[in-house]
A and B are shown apart, each in its own frame.
Chain A
């Protein structure tokens, strides 16, 4: 799946100079009504370092910073909107059925990236955007008294210095080595039906390094641009 995400990332880079690409559920009233209760899940982010030989090694410190900065950027971005937001803490929410629903969102999001963003178009998904987490999502609605949930999910790697040197060396020989890259997606889910009503993906560009507060802010702005909240 990660490999597919990398593919998706590569396609996005090649396809357009814009870094985001919004999908909305067709035929649904995507904009939640005023004062809707929206559950904001803390971002699920994993960052790693891409070593010279191409192995990615998880970096817990980068992951922790990115989570903190993205979380606060998302909250800032949502401030002042006419909805009631509550924060979902994954340290308690990842257990049991609830955790399964949240993990399912990650898997559905990765499928959306693969099948709706031109990597492997599915004939059955050509007609529109009709992804759902299923009625199991109601569990979150009941538990947190919420109408919608907003999820942010990010994966990525940063090239190590040795990797960059290796890339330059290889390029001189005419060989292109993949570089690190970071991708985040956001999905807005109607918790009554489980339907993904709005989805956006953002590819980090120079200046949007989510390991810094400024980068996280810029990345979040592009990620949540046009969110119907």
Chain B
């Protein structure tokens, strides 16, 4: 399944030719609205496990509990899911990877790494529509049956299946392993997701724009292995983006008029994620792929908003990367951030440290003093006070 890129690439070359001439027609049956499977069936079993995983998700530490953000994402989901609105339940999880996943029972997770990379409500709407399509077309059940069928042919999957650990697997995003949707299912979900989002009035150009941005970010990775993967960067592994998927979306969008309120919904989207921007960027840095983080920050900064936060984290990325010249770049980013009203308080501490490294004690003093004035209750005040004393020539301890 998802762990066989070489084979997949080969298959994609063969299939790409046929898609050039064949229109994509959904080969998956539409789920009846409100239908709950009989508990004595395989689908009933999957649903019961998913219900359990969903309950567990609600008490996970990673669950984002901001009511405003959750309401916003659920609102967009409802618009897109239309008749499935009552069955699709979205949870925002604070995890720095680009991922959204749909369990068989309609429990959907959207990860913060995805929300950070989506630029507008239209792009989000497409992703949510894509996931809703997995539900509406029963893709996970089909994938499960497909896996069983293949396992029956080759008994070697016995060990890999790992007993009854389905609940855990579902949870850990190893959905990618167990429920890796087939290429056809991903394309089907793209197509249906596109239809759902545009029907709800969203921008038809957004889906392809989002996939292109992911490809560009992949190409900016610090790691050659990731860059080479092109269509399948590590953090996008559950949703491999292939060129022909983008081409198919371009084809769908061709001839459709752009959404009239594109700028308004971009602004609305940024306002919804703004309170979390700093925390999510801090999480993203923990992936330690600074090339990708810097690319992401540039993309977020393109609209000229939130520059205090974005420039601070740009500085953080350079400071942590520590390649030749990064110290200067970090300092420049911190200085730029310091002129912005929305710069996080921590900026002044880091700016002070960086000015010290640059042998500019007067500038460092000013930064530290600003930090102490702004961060009244900070636990690390004593460290900054000690640094100040050192500059002022008194004992640092």
Residue ranges of A at the interface with B (Cβ–Cβ < 8 Å): 1-3, 5-6, 46, 48, 51-61, 63-64, 94-97, 99-100, 103, 155, 157
Additional A-B contacts beyond A54-B159, A58-B48 (16; CB < 8 A): A1-B165, A2-B162, A46-B164, A48-B164, A52-B152, A53-B148, A53-B152, A53-B155, A57-B42, A57-B45, A58-B49, A58-B164, A95-B58, A95-B59, A99-B56, A99-B58
Is the beta-carbon distance between B165 and A64 smaller than 8 angstroms?
Answer: no
In Å, the complex CA distance between A94 and B155 comes to 37
Partner of B166, one of A58, A61, A94, A96: A58
Number of interface residues of B (CB under 8 A): 31
Contacts of A94 in B (CB 8 A): 55-56, 59
Q: Which residue of A lies closest to B58 (CB)?
A: A95
Is the beta-carbon distance between A60 and B47 smaller than 8 angstroms?
Answer: yes
- B147, B159, B166: most-surrounded residue (chain A CB, <10 A): B166
User: Is B40 close to A, CB under 8 A?
Assistant: yes
Q: Which residue of B lies closest to A96 (CB)?
A: B59
Is the beta-carbon distance between B152 and A51 smaller than 8 angstroms?
Answer: yes
| Contact of A54 with B162 at beta-carbon distance under 8 Å, contacts A61-B39, A95-B58 already known | no
- Interface of chain A, main secondary structure: mixed
- A52, A58, A63: most-surrounded residue (chain B CB, <10 A): A58
Chain A's nearest CB lies how many Å from the CB of B146?
A: 12
- B44, B45, B164, B166: most-surrounded residue (chain A CB, <10 A): B164
Is the beta-carbon distance between A59 and B162 smaller than 8 angstroms?
Answer: no
Contacts of B163 in A (CB 8 A): 2-3, 5-6, 56, 157
Is the beta-carbon distance between B39 and A60 smaller than 8 angstroms?
Answer: yes
Q: Which residue of A lies closest to B50 (CB)?
A: A58
**Interchain residue pairs with CB less than 8 A apart (14):** A1-B165, A6-B163, A53-B155, A54-B157, A55-B161, A57-B148, A58-B166, A59-B45, A61-B44, A94-B55, A95-B59, A97-B59, A99-B55, A155-B164
Is the beta-carbon distance between A63 and B162 smaller than 8 angstroms?
Answer: no
Q: Which residue of A lies closest to B165 (CB)?
A: A2
- A59, A64, A100: most-surrounded residue (chain B CB, <10 A): A59
Residue ranges of B at the interface with A (Cβ–Cβ < 8 Å): 39-40, 42, 44-49, 52, 55-56, 58-59, 147-148, 151-152, 154-155, 157-159, 161-168
Is the beta-carbon distance between B39 and A54 smaller than 8 angstroms?
Answer: no
Partner of B161, one of A54, A59, A96, A100: A54
Q: Which residue of B lies closest to A53 (CB)?
A: B151
In Å, the complex CA distance between A220 and B157 comes to 34
Contacts of A57 in B (CB 8 A): 42, 45, 148
Contacts of B45 in A (CB 8 A): 48, 57-60
In Å, the complex CA distance between A99 and B56 comes to 8
In Å, the complex CA distance between A94 and B162 comes to 25
Q: Which residue of B lies closest to A55 (CB)?
A: B161
In Å, the complex CA distance between A157 and B162 comes to 13
In Å, the complex CA distance between A100 and B63 comes to 14
Is the beta-carbon distance between A53 and B157 smaller than 8 angstroms?
Answer: yes
In Å, the complex CA distance between A46 and B162 comes to 15
Is the beta-carbon distance between B42 and A53 smaller than 8 angstroms?
Answer: no
Contacts of B46 in A (CB 8 A): 58
In Å, the complex CA distance between A103 and B60 comes to 11
Is the beta-carbon distance between B151 and A103 smaller than 8 angstroms?
Answer: no
Contacts of A58 in B (CB 8 A): 45-46, 48-49, 164, 166
- B52, B152, B163: most-surrounded residue (chain A CB, <10 A): B163
In Å, the complex CA distance between A53 and B146 comes to 13
Q: Which residue of B lies closest to A59 (CB)?
A: B45
In Å, the complex CA distance between A99 and B158 comes to 32
Is the beta-carbon distance between A60 and B44 smaller than 8 angstroms?
Answer: yes
Partner of B56, one of A53, A55, A63, A103: A103
